[in-house]
Structure 1
Amino acid sequence: MTSVVFNKKLEDLLAVAQRDNTASREIHFPQAPTHMEVKSPLMEVVDYIIEDALGRGASDIHVEPGETMGRLRYRIDGILETMIPPIPMELYGNIISRLKIMCRLNIAEYRLPQDGRFSYEYFGKKIDVRVSIVPLINGEKAVLRLLNRAERFISIDGLDLTAKNKEQLIELCHRSGGAVIIAGPVNSGKTTTLYGVLDLLNNSQKNIITLEDPVEYQLKGINQLQINTKIKLDFSDALKATLRQDYDVLAVGEVRSSEVADLLVRASLAGHLVLATIHTSSAAKVIYRMLEMGIKPYLLGIAIKGIVAQRLLPRLCPDCCSTYLVEPDSPVARFLGEEFRPGMQLYHRQGCDKCNGKGVKGRIALHEILVIDEKIQECITNRCSLAELEQAINEKGMISIKQDGIAKALAGLVEIEAVMEIDDISI
């Protein structure tokens, strides 16, 4: 879905920066300016882009090179919106250099990827900005992830869980040991769910430790350790040290390696509750991802207690969404399958002042929660095929992401077409 927004203020700032003969020289100062120094027009452009994105509720900023003009896009409610005007390429390189200076990266290096971060003050709030820069054919592309430290994390009551899924998740997290894995692709809300679970478990009688990269929200009463690869404090080393910290609950921000996966499994077998996130599209595929990491099937079958897989979709604006009749022979009716009924109505977006004409407002999570029982454990131990595992899950009666999406579409929370576009929801 393409969305384009004209930004008059950005147009004016870019025009001033182009006319300013000193902008390209000032940007190459080795240190970022102090609060007492006067900002150059180009610095004003970069600050405005960050503040404009924050004001629009963006989660990411994309700064992309082109042949004659660069492109600026914000990810808002999961959708990339293009800002007009584009960035003149004579200013583009200096904008990237300014971002590198803010991250204290090497401004002379443009052939290799670089990652960095900086903090930004926005209306008295501390914003963490993670920056990824990669070289492309026409120049370097920068992606900025915006993390608001002061933003209130969502409790388990606000995670869009159905009553059954919420009950299952609470039961899983109150077990004395075992691993609960939260899965999904990038930007699927895994960390939000993890924090909701940690908030549920948090009390003075438990030693809860998290390993995160970065710490997105500070949770009072929880020991949060931030990974720092620059000083060689990676997930593996931090996890080895944490295992000696007399913990009750251990949460790992992301399982990225075979060594971390192995340590997590062994920690869960020691009688502690272990929480982790992993980049995988479905509950069934989490099991195969961990087997591919070298975890022995019989150990995994015993260690893992449950899996939460999820996706985020744009939430329909409740003030302007409208209904339509589902035609019997339509692709929607075929997708609904046994859920379809003659005369069924679904919802689609319209657009109003409250949602800025987009028809969507925020995002909503779809979930599937797999509780490992003896049948699933046997499938894992015997390393059944993915098809056999999915069949066993289907027979178990798990509410799949597809089923959860259909239920939320029927309730007017999402468009059914958005559910249909999700990959890997065949169960």
Structure 2
Amino acid sequence: MGRIEELKGKNGRNTEDILLKTDVLKDSPALDVLSEFYGVEKVESIPEDDIDYELIKQFPISFAKRFRILPISKDNGTLKVVFAPPQELYALDEVRSRFNCSLETYIALERVLTDSINRVYEQGKDVVSEDINEGSGLSDMEFTEPQDLIEAEDEAPIIKFINTLLFQAVREHASDIHIECFEKEVLVRFRKDGILHDVTKVPKTVQSSVISRVKIMSELDIAERRKPQDGSIRLKIGGRDIDVRVSTVPTSWGESVVMRLLYRSSVLMSFEQLGLEGEKLETVESLIKCPHGIILVTGPTGSGKTTSLYAALQRINLPDKKIITIEDPVEYQIQGINQIQVNTKVGLTFANGLRSILRQDPDVILVGEIRDRETADISMNASLTGHLVFSTLHTNDSVSAVTRLADMGVESFLIASTLSAVIAQRLVRILCTQCREQYVPVDEELGRIGLAREACPEGKIYRAKGCQECMETGFSGRIAIFEILLIDDELKNTILTHPDSSTLKEKALRNGLITLRMDGADKVAKGITSIDEVLRVTEEELAES
């Protein structure tokens, strides 16, 4: 140790750096020096008979390799662990927290520990796999393209389980994966076509390992369990690039994890794929070709607003137009369009970003969401100066967007002079064409969505049944229903009188407004969706009528 102190004074380096990066250990037994430096007992080997494989099941191999720590056994509330230098202090704290006990630490050379980790996890593979399989057949799935699924260091069971989970979610076109911790089990659910479905249950014994694996993949702090965290994963599955947004929040029985999967194919769609046709399609086409004005898309979260806006931008993304967006977040990069990500940490808000955009000589501007009066005022003034502006609002229908802007404090004359149209939308599930069932509805059923029997071919419509093709759901895919409010001269004059939503809606209906429910009824008559689906997404409208 005297030689080490001499090197410290000469080079200004810390003790651990000298131990690991110089040849000072050449003339001394390395393990003895390390043991003295760290103040813990040494182990020259780790006998396999000493390993408790029940502990291994709760400890991710990725963590063991990254931080060079291996749990050995637990006795009377004390956990015996072996580590190799260099060691991060918070890693030992994480182990202490994970097992809720005190630690008895030992030190080993890195090569000894690495060999033990590889050997232990290989032998423990069957034990962990059995535990996962008790709750699910999910891990039995065979990967068709494992080489591009995840850039994984190894094939440990927990890693395989998460990989399989992601693979199956993509295969089933799920938009979200939910991992929820309860008292006796961990529930995994997929959101498909807007509806949550149970997928599997994971044993409580592997809860920490599963969540830690997701955190490591999304570069989150695995030691932080008290605060919500957000991260992301970029991966390739079956040749498709997938962005995964990860959110964790602490709950009573452990952390809840939600992974949102973003696919290019689901974000970049045409108007026709979205469900616009006929007169509605012509109306939207003419609106987006206007040189100025504001077009708002409204609806709750998950109603397809961003997808519709991207479809509009793609349609007008031509060499003679400069298009700039400010979004939170940027869901997908579109070639030829300048996209800005909101970053409140550095003061880049919708309002501040919009001011900067106006100095960039744009023709078309997309504002991800109008959240306050400042953003609304800047957007409307931008349209007055010759820009076409797209944005979104969270309202139940089209006419409520007008009153929402007024509630924000936007002057009525500004709304009337700049607002071109409001498009409200919802997503309904499409009936599976392999198993949908034709039937004759009763008058009361048709009346609930205002559908005339004459509008139905032979007086019949379709309902969901369920088959192997649609995984017994009765549905396959989604399509939008729309409500397009055109702000004509008559409505402009009405807006100037500060009307409430009901007055404005009455006026719009007299002028021929086709509501969400009406558009849904049309898709029911065409056999695209069911009455129950339309009722599910238009509850607010039914309550108002």
Q: What TM-score, normalized by structure 1, do the two folds share?
A: 0.88
The aligned runs of 1:294-305 (5 Å cut-off) are 294-305=409-420
Q: Secondary structure at the match of 1:21?
A: helix
Match of 1:144 in 2: 259
Shift of 1:231: 4.6
Match of 1:5 in 2: none
Structure 1 CA distance for aligned equivalents of residues 371 and 223 of structure 2:
30
Structure 2 CA distance for aligned equivalents of residues 32 and 102 of structure 1:
15
CA deviations 1:147-196 (Å, max 9, x no partner) are 12466721223221131111111111111111000111111111111111
Shift of 1:31: 6.4
Structure 2 CA distance for aligned equivalents of residues 345 and 35 of structure 1:
52
Structure 1: give runs of 5+ residues left out of the alignment. Answer: 1-17
2:365–2:388 CA contact under 8 A, matched in 1 = yes
Match of 1:4 in 2: none
Matching residue within 24, 30, 33 for 2:59: 24
Structure 2: give runs of 5+ residues left out of the alignment. Answer: 1-52, 69-149
Q: How many residues align?
A: 407
1:133–1:142 CA contact under 8 A, matched in 2 = yes
Specify the code of the residue in structure 2 equivalent to 1:144. Answer: M
Shift of 1:298: 1.6
Shift of 1:98: 2.5
Shift of 1:113: 2.2
The aligned runs of 1:116-155 (5 Å cut-off) are 116-149=231-264, 153-155=268-270
In structure 2, relative to structure 1, the CA distance for the partners of 1:319 and 1:207 (3 Å cut) is: same
Deviates most, 285-294 or 66-75 = 285-294
Deviates most, 247-256 or 66-75 = 247-256
Specify the code of the residue in structure 1 equivalent to 2:336. Answer: G
Shift of 1:355: 2.3
Specify the code of the residue in structure 2 equivalent to 1:308. Answer: I
Match of 2:352 in 1: 237
Matching residue within 218, 222, 225 for 1:110: 225
Match of 1:55 in 2: 171
1:72–1:83 CA contact under 8 A, matched in 2 = yes
Q: Secondary structure at the match of 2:340?
A: strand
Match of 1:44 in 2: 160
Shift of 1:402: 0.5
Higher relative CO (CA 8 A, sep ≥ 6), structure 1 or 2?
A: 1
Matching residue within 318, 328, 333 for 1:213: 328
State percent identity of aligned pairs: 36
Matching residue within 222, 232, 248 for 2:363: 248
User: Does residue 313 of structure 1 match 2:428?
Assistant: yes
In structure 2, relative to structure 1, the CA distance for the partners of 1:401 and 1:152 (3 Å cut) is: closer
Structure 2 CA distance for aligned equivalents of residues 365 and 258 of structure 1:
29
User: Does residue 75 of structure 1 match 2:188?
Assistant: no
Larger radius of gyration: 2
Specify the code of the residue in structure 2 equivalent to 1:354. Answer: E
Match of 2:396 in 1: 281
The answer to which structure has the higher helix fraction is: 2
2:57–2:205 CA contact under 8 A, matched in 1 = no
The aligned runs of 1:346-385 (5 Å cut-off) are 346-385=461-500
Match of 1:192 in 2: 307
Structure 1 CA distance for aligned equivalents of residues 451 and 474 of structure 2:
28
In structure 2, relative to structure 1, the CA distance for the partners of 1:37 and 1:418 (3 Å cut) is: closer
Q: Secondary structure at the match of 1:397?
A: coil
Match of 2:144 in 1: none
In structure 2, relative to structure 1, the CA distance for the partners of 1:142 and 1:259 (3 Å cut) is: farther
2:273–2:479 CA contact under 8 A, matched in 1 = no
Deviates most, 413-422 or 34-43 = 34-43
Structure 2 CA distance for aligned equivalents of residues 38 and 174 of structure 1:
53
In structure 2, relative to structure 1, the CA distance for the partners of 1:37 and 1:265 (3 Å cut) is: same
Specify the code of the residue in structure 2 equivalent to 1:187. Answer: G
1:73–1:81 CA contact under 8 A, matched in 2 = yes
Structure 2 CA distance for aligned equivalents of residues 151 and 31 of structure 1:
36
Match of 2:376 in 1: 261
Match of 1:10 in 2: none
Structure 2 CA distance for aligned equivalents of residues 406 and 380 of structure 1:
29
1:160–1:366 CA contact under 8 A, matched in 2 = yes
Pairwise CA RMSD: 2.5
2:323–2:363 CA contact under 8 A, matched in 1 = yes
Deviates most, 97-106 or 364-373 = 97-106
Specify the code of the residue in structure 1 equivalent to 2:283. Answer: Q
Q: Secondary structure at the match of 2:540?
A: coil
Structure 2 CA distance for aligned equivalents of residues 357 and 324 of structure 1:
19
CA deviations 1:77-105 (Å, max 9, x no partner) are 22211012x12223223322322222222
Shift of 1:27: 4.9
Structure 2 CA distance for aligned equivalents of residues 368 and 299 of structure 1:
23
Specify the code of the residue in structure 2 equivalent to 1:96. Answer: I
Structure 1 CA distance for aligned equivalents of residues 487 and 435 of structure 2:
41
Shift of 1:66: 0.8
Structure 2 CA distance for aligned equivalents of residues 398 and 30 of structure 1:
63
